[in-house]
Amino acid sequence: MFVDKPGETASAGIWGVKLNGEPPQWITSQVGIFSPDFKYVAYPKATETVIAEVNGGKHWVVREAGGRSISFSPDSKSISWQVSSSLVNFDLRTVDVWVAKVDGTNAKKIASLFGGGVSGWLPDSAKMLVTIRKEANTDPILSVLNIADGKLTPITQSPGFRSTMPSPEGGWIIYQISFSGDANKDGVWVIRSDGKDLKRLEVFGSYRWRSEGKILFVPLETITGKQSHRFVEVDAATGNIRAITDPNITSFRIANGDWSLSPDGKRAAFLNAEDRNLWMLDLP
C-alpha cells in the first residue's frame, strides 16, 4: 500500500500493488487510521470520531472519543483512545485511557496515567504498553496495562522512551532513548516483556521486528555520493549482529527512512532515493 496521485486525472489516495509488479490499483481516497486487517478506517468528522468499513457502507460514530484519534487492536476487534486532563506539559498531566469494541460500543475508561500515555497494543490484544510517572520530575516507567482489570505491571524505568515496539509475539520490547544527557543511556535498548535481560544494542538506526527475537536495522551511517544503505539483523537475546546485505553486492539508498518489512520478514519495500520509485528486496 502507498499514497500517490499517479496522474492528472487519477485519484489521489491509497493505492496497492501486487508483489509481482502488476499495475497498481486504486484502493480508497479516505484518509485515516486503518485497522490491521484493513477492514476498517477511522477518521475525524468535525468533533466526532467515525469508524467505517473500507469496502462497505456501514459506519459508526464513537461519541465518547469526541473526534480524537483512535488506535486499533492487533486483532481489529477493539479500539482505544486517550483523553488528557489538561493542556499542561505532558509529564504533569493525567491521561485517561479508554477502550471500546470496534463499532464504539461498550466504551469504558480502564486507567488514568499520570505523566505518561499509551505506547501501543501488545500482540494478544488483551494488554497495552504504557508509560506512567509516580510523581512529577521523575523518569517514566514502561509498564504493561491489562485491559480486563486495569492492572499495571512495571517493566523498566528510563529518562524517556521513543519508538517503542513489541516483538511479533510480545516476548520482547525495543525502544530508543535520545537526548537524555547521559551517553551511557542514549541508544537502542531491548528488554523482555517481563522486565528481564535489559541490554543496549551495539547498533543505532531505523528498526523493525523481523520475527520473534530478531530485529532488522538500517544502521545510521554516513552515506555520500553513490554509497549504499544496508540491512543488518540483531538477535535480541545475545545482541549479536549479522549482515543481511552487502553494499558491494546489493546497492540501494532509502529515501527519508521510508521502508517497510513484510509480515513474514522475508521482503523489504522502500522508496528508492535514486528514482523515487517503490522497490522490493528479497532478504536472505
pLDDT digits (tens, 9 = 90+) for 50-76: 999 988 889 999 999 999 999 999 999
Which pLDDT does position 137 carry in this prediction? 86
Task: Specify which residues 254 forms β-bridges with.
Answer: 272
User: What pLDDT digit, counting tens, does each position of 154-169 carry?
Assistant: 999 998 899 999 999 9
| pTM confidence score | 0.90
Of residues 223, 212, 209, 160, the one with CA closest to residue 186: 160
N-to-C CA span, the chain: 23
Which pLDDT does position 276 carry in this prediction? 92
Which pLDDT does position 179 carry in this prediction? 86
* Contact by Cβ (8 Å): 79, 71: yes
Compute the distance between CA of residue 270 and CA of residue 230 in angstroms, rounded to an integer: 12
Q: State which residues of the chain have pLDDT below 70.
A: none
Phi, psi dihedral angles at 63 (to 5 degrees): -65, -35
Of residues 220, 191, 208, 219, the one with CA closest to residue 265: 208
Residues of the chain with pLDDT > 90: what percent? 81
Nearest-Å Rg of the Cα atoms of the chain is 20
**How high is the mean pLDDT of the chain?**
93
Compute the distance between CA of residue 60 and CA of residue 53 in angstroms, rounded to an integer: 9
The grid coordinates listed for 254 are 532509502
Which pLDDT does position 176 carry in this prediction? 96
CATH fold of 32-155 = Neuraminidase (2.120.10)
Residues 6+ apart with CB under 8 A from 253: 223, 227, 228, 229, 272, 273, 274
The grid coordinates listed for 189 are 535498548
The single-letter DSSP state of residue 184 is T
Of residues 93, 48, 44, 101, the one with CA closest to residue 72: 101
Domain positions in the chain are: 1-31, 32-155
Residue 179 one-letter amino acid? F
Which pLDDT does position 45 carry in this prediction? 93
DSSP-based three-state secondary structure for 63: helix
Torsion sign, CA atoms 186, 192, 198, 201 = negative
